[in-house]
Amino acid sequence: MKDLPIDEGSEIAFCGRSNSGKSTLLNTITNNKKLAKTSKTPGRTQTLNVFCIDEFCQKRIVDLPGYGFAKVSKNLRKEWGYIINQYLSSRLSLKGLILIMDIRQALKESDLMLIKWSKKNYIPLKVVLNKGDKLSKSKVIKEIKSVEKKLEDLSFEGKPLPFSSKSLMGVDELRETLNNWFKI
């Protein structure tokens, strides 16, 4: 936490379970294949990475460590939870959260915790249903509807966004969300 940039300006944090495609998505929306490291081994990104997106680093993207990777020890998982918690509860420049989920495995326990946290703390959160290319169009629609219903049950406002780094669905919409939040 002490190594983070000064807590001023605007920060948007990206969170999600390991292997949700978070690093690939960051590379896609920034048009930079080398920005966030991607790997086929889930759980490799264990640090909090900050990317300055303007000259004076007043607008930043924060890549939070992926959670829920089964193969790591309980202690390490706890440590990740602690880091995410520390970040969320202290960062005043946080303007919004992008929650990335594999469309085939949406709304797991940790995802729900983040959604509830954002609501309680009035931090905007965008739900992204990633890897949309893995399902047929009709299954994507079905999945969106199911997630919408579950979000409604949580009194969460805001529509989930289907996304894919392969087919590029959702890229423009996600960029628009980021631009809007950075303007606030």
**83 and 2 Cβ atoms separated by less than 8 Å:** no
CA 142/CA 137 separation, integer angstroms: 9
Q: Please give the DSSP secondary-structure letter assigned to residue 26.
A: H
**Contact flag: residue 21 with ligand GDP (CB under 6 A):** yes
The closest residue (CB) to ligand GDP is 21
Amino acid identity, position 29: I
133 binds ligand GDP (CB under 6 A): yes
| Least CB distance to ligand GDP at residue 169 (A) | 9
Q: Going residue by residue from 36 to 75, which x/- string records binding to ligand GDP, judged by CB under 6 A?
A: --xxx-x--x--------------------x---------
Q: CA-to-CA distance for 70 and 109, rounded, in angstroms? A: 13
Please select the residue that binds ligand GDP; options are 59, 95, 126, 131, rule is CB under 6 A: 131
Interface of this chain with ligand GDP, residues 139 to 158, rule: CB under 6 A? none
**Rounded to 5°, angle at Cα 176 from 173 and 180:** 145
